[in-house]
Amino acid sequence: MTDFARTPRRPAVTLGRVRLGAGGPLVGVRVADGRVTHVIAERERGSSAPVGTAADERVVDLEGRVLLPGLWDAHVHLAEWAGVRRRLDLSGTGSAREAADRVRRHAGGAAAGTVLFGYGFRDALWPDAPHKRLLDAVSPDRPVALVSADLHAVWLNSACLALAGRGDHPTGLVREHEGHEVLSALPEASPETVDGWVADACRAAAARGITGVIDFQFGDTVGAWERRSAQLPPAVRVSAAVYPEHLDAAVARGLRTGSGIGGHGDLVRVGPLKLFTDGSLNTRTALCRDPYPGLEHTDGSHGLEQTSPRDLVRLMRRAAAHGIEPAVHAIGDHANTVALDAFETVRCRGRIEHAQLLSPEDLPRFAELDVIAGVQPRHATDDRDVADRYWAGRTGRAFAYADLLAAGARLEFGSDAPVSPLDPWLAVAAAVGRTDDDRPAWHPEQRLPLRDALAAAARGRRLIRVGDPADLVVVDVDPLDADLDTLRAMPVHATMTDGRWTHGPY
């Protein structure tokens, strides 16, 4: 495979004998200077003659494989995902005790003060509650910090609570903003180490056909990507989010959504301003019109308001006035209404991230207000059981992708990695099939047609046309001929970003 990071821009290349899109004709596609310059039917150009005329032009015979627009992950936490790939995996644990037992088997073999990080537990349906006592029993000396699959809760033992300055916490289960504060107080890997992990994660993403991501990593994401891209270009395009605590600095620098940063052309750009209206379904902090079953008479029975409507409008208005588009996290139906109301007040372009539970009257507002719905189809299949319990009677309007599409909304797929794996084909299969196991489709009326799912996975790009960026993916199987299992494991032959191979044998 080509070392993308160290190879200068290549001469023009012609991709010969390739199918142009799912179910498309056999063509030759010429790429030069990071753009598609020609698309010519094979019968017009002959079986082997190159489209271009440059003496050093290379012709790559793709032997009838399928060429698709490059795919994007429109919602990822890259450093978190890169780190999770090296943490204790707690996915699939069915109880707090089972999770603690998994910690017990991994707690030895390291210095007592070294933090054992784990990730991936989902406690919404557990028969027992996470508590520091369970972790203290299996790891009394070594600090343990376990992050929930949705990134909205952290479960710590007493040693780790003390390390984070929260020694008096009653349960060790810390949610939402306080959880992020606790994690930031714990020892971290060096920036150089994290940058290496992120570079590996980007190469792994390219191997699945990814040509770009929106990175919503918490913290100074723009600064982190300026550091990384100053030396080597990433294997994918990156749109780096801005968080409110860094908004003033971005404005002072004159940065706007789409501004190029780093030293490699337009591969790394400033992304949107990330704002939160509520929490998540698994932690029962998504802000809903109806109370959560069993929590009717408690504080927070309807979820958690992260940002008041007034502050939301204030922040969105300041960002939009300086060319920074907002991306508003909203999961519960009331949170989505609040977010859409804010967009209607400010009258700016932007995104709502997740849009998981929607009121029927809010569906057409996405198109009316030109607000993108950034959705994660794997969440629909991962959370179906939790939704059936806590959103009982309302799940017909949960993860309502078909309804959003019918209402004219623009959908963009992401993974929210590490909440679900950074793999666009899992999202496509989940959107098309509404199941990821042997059970029947969950609310099959919300399934998307394959072509619409592929477009949502490519940030709306449906065709490959002359003048387009040469962000392309070559797959071995026509998606139109693939069953759900094949879609999930789609064999990616090669990936090209900005006219250079980022994955494959070339």
| DSSP reduced 3-state for 96 | helix
Please say which residue of 255, 272, 289 terminates a domain.
Answer: 272
Please say which residue of 184, 210, 245 terminates a domain.
Answer: 184
pLDDT at 341: 98
Is residue 210 exposed (0-12), middle (13-18) or buried (19+ Cβ within 10 Å)?
A: buried
Instruction: Give me the CATH number covering residue 489.
Output: 2.30.40.10
pLDDT above 70 coverage of the chain, percent: 94
The CA distance from 472 to 30, in Å, is 12
Containing structural domain, residue 155: 86-184
Looking at the fold, whether 295 and 433 belong to one and the same domain comes out as yes
Reduced DSSP (H G I as helix, E B as strand, rest coil) percent helix, strand, coil of the chain, to 5: 30, 25, 45
8 A C-beta contact, residue 505 and residue 1? yes
Instruction: Give me the CATH number covering residue 315.
Output: 3.20.20.140
The CA distance from 248 to 231, in Å, is 26
Rounded alpha-carbon distances, angstroms, from residue 140 to 100, 123, 137, 237, 345: 12, 22, 6, 44, 52
pLDDT at 265: 66
8 A C-beta contact, residue 153 and residue 122? no
DSSP secondary-structure letter at 336? H
Looking at the fold, whether 65 and 198 belong to one and the same domain comes out as no
pLDDT at 214: 98
Looking at the fold, whether 116 and 132 belong to one and the same domain comes out as yes
Query: Domain count of the chain?
Result: 4
Looking at the fold, whether 448 and 486 belong to one and the same domain comes out as no
Closest CA to 238 of 249, 252, 224, 254: 224
pTM: 0.90
Please say which residue of 165, 184, 203 terminates a domain.
Answer: 184
pLDDT at 112: 61
The CA distance from 419 to 108, in Å, is 27
At 415-459, the pLDDT tens digits run: 999 999 999 999 999 999 999 999 999 999 999 999 999 999 999
Instruction: Give me the CATH number covering residue 147.
Output: 3.10.310.70
Looking at the fold, whether 431 and 372 belong to one and the same domain comes out as yes
Q: Mean pLDDT in runs of 10 for the chain (506 residues)?
A: 44 93 96 96 58 68 97 97 90 96 84 84 95 96 94 95 95 93 90 95 98 97 93 92 98 97 84 98 96 90 97 98 98 98 98 98 98 98 97 98 98 97 98 96 98 98 97 98 98 97 96
Looking at the fold, whether 130 and 6 belong to one and the same domain comes out as no
Looking at the fold, whether 264 and 286 belong to one and the same domain comes out as no
| DSSP reduced 3-state for 477 | coil
Looking at the fold, whether 23 and 144 belong to one and the same domain comes out as no
Beta-carbon-side half-sphere exposure of residue 24 (alpha carbons within 13 Å):
28
Q: Does 481 fall in a domain?
A: yes
What's phi and psi for 359, nearest 5 deg?
-75, 140
